[in-house]
Structure 1
Amino acid sequence: MRINKLLSNYGICSRSGANKLIEENRIIVNGKLCIPGQWVEKEDNILLDNENINEKDKIYIALNKPVGITCTAEKTVASNIISFMNYPEYIFPVGRLDKLSQGLILMTNDGDWANNILESKNEHEKEYIVTLNKPYDDDFIQGMSEGVEICGVNTRPCKVLRISENTFQIILTQGLNKQIRRMSKTFGYIVVRLERIRIIGIKIDGIESGKWRNLTEKEVIELRNR
């Protein structure tokens, strides 16, 4: 595999981070400076800062993200999720939850595990509680459930349940950018509060805003096998 993927799989850095290490001449493969995009084998002698690379222990975290935090691993972005957590090891967000939204997001250093969760064809469920700027009617629920054209594509049919006159529960199996906000706007509504409360079998219950917990081994395995 390429050196970028190996370092990412080992939980050492992101693929883009690997490119930076290569540019800084900090990686040596079999006695020679690594080049961008180089193919490597696990059996190769790979040094980072003149020390053998070792696969990091895998990290799996459920975070209750507050409003105002941006789901990016790019530390130059203001209020990024990595600086917010200040976690001592390399981790990255699994997918995204827009800055104005709050709730559950998974963090990890396991690229393959993350990709399985994000793979669109797997149709993994994500559940949200959404509050609109005004009361909605039954036509809104039906229209949202059947799918809406946004960004040039039709959203998949989904489950929508009424909670109150202006709040509803929605379960999606895809993750288009700002999907719920754009779907609601199609019907003339503005989302004023959006909270993700579940990703597949992981629930936000018991995690205070801004706090996180480690996933159990059982949870990690269940998500890997979905």
Structure 2
Amino acid sequence: MAWTRRYDEAEPQRVNRWLAQNGVCSRREAEGLIGQGLVSIDGERVDDVGRKILPGQILTLSDRAEALLEATLSVVIHKPMGVVSSQPEGQQIPAVRLLTRETLWGEATTIPGSANRLAPIGRLDMDSRGLLVLTEDGVLAKAVIGPASEMEKEYLVRVAGEISERKLKQLRHGLQLDGRQLRPARVDRMGGQQLRFILQEGRNRQIRRMCDLVGLSVVDLLRVRIGPLTLGDLPEGRWRPLTQAERTALLSAPAPASQRES
């Protein structure tokens, strides 16, 4: 079914800009769709890439436009320890090497190959495991890890050391890394030595360094969620394609309230 949406803003806006703001595609992609005659307003084809949509008008992308946007490959991996997200050094194993027919979980129309340029959105260091997304989709990457993104990432972390309320309070508020204040984090004790972290940023080895600052050592770190996307029952070392519904959910995920539950 063709993508259709009513324009309810107060002022006219260029079609390509509005589509980009809604996370449908980039401005350049929108211009390409317009150039191919795949965009219409109130049933009339849009031919001018500078065309503005007016309040109350209805914009529609054709089925072919949606198919073109969906052709960009994105995959979900349960990354094991010992595998790097990207840019391997020496004998390190990059996550893309896991994308084989033998490690596929479920079905896929395409098995990624050398022609695909898949990059991680939200890296996991080599010593961590769990949910990792690789994509060719620049719009998706911007939504998840762009400078304006506040998308939550959730981790289950097993630590060594004494867990106290003082340390939990420090982890939630007040820590600095590299001379910069960290955003507030949700940190809950799940039982025993396991903590749950929910972050809205992704500094290099952030959780490990946060724990070091309060005298805790990370024994195991598992990412289980990125925004609305969860690891679910995907086995370790396996992968599957990201579905269109999951892409749409990631692009339309609202920014969470600022730590109401911290």
TM-score, normalised relative to structure 1: 0.71
**Equivalent residues, number:** 175
Aligned counterpart, 1:80? 94
Aligned counterpart, 1:65? 79
- Asked whether the equivalents of residues 73 and 93 of structure 1 are also in contact (C-alpha less than 8 Å), the reply is no
Write the distance in 1 (CA, Å) between the matches of 2:181 and 2:224: 24
Shift of 1:79: 0.9
Q: 1:149 aligns with which of 162, 176, 182?
A: 176
1:119 corresponds to 2:133 = no
1:209 corresponds to 2:223 = no
Shift of 1:220: 0.6
For residues 146-187 of structure 1, what are the alpha-carbon distances to aligned partners after superposition, in whole Å with 9 as ceiling and x for unaligned? 141112111100111111231110100000000000000001
Change (3 A) 1:76 1:224: farther
Structure 2 residue ranges without an equivalent (≥5): 1-27, 30-67, 101-111, 254-262
Change (3 A) 1:140 1:118: same
Change (3 A) 1:165 1:103: same
The 3-state SS of whatever aligns with 2:172 is helix
Aligned counterpart, 2:188? 161
1:188 corresponds to 2:188 = no
Q: 1:103 aligns with which of 130, 138, 158?
A: 130
**For the aligned residues, what is the CA RMSD?**
2.3
Shift of 1:101: 0.2
Percent of aligned pairs sharing the same letter: 29
The 3-state SS of whatever aligns with 2:221 is strand
The 3-state SS of whatever aligns with 1:58 is coil
TM-score, normalised relative to structure 2: 0.62
The 3-state SS of whatever aligns with 2:140 is helix
Write the distance in 2 (CA, Å) between the matches of 1:182 and 1:84: 28
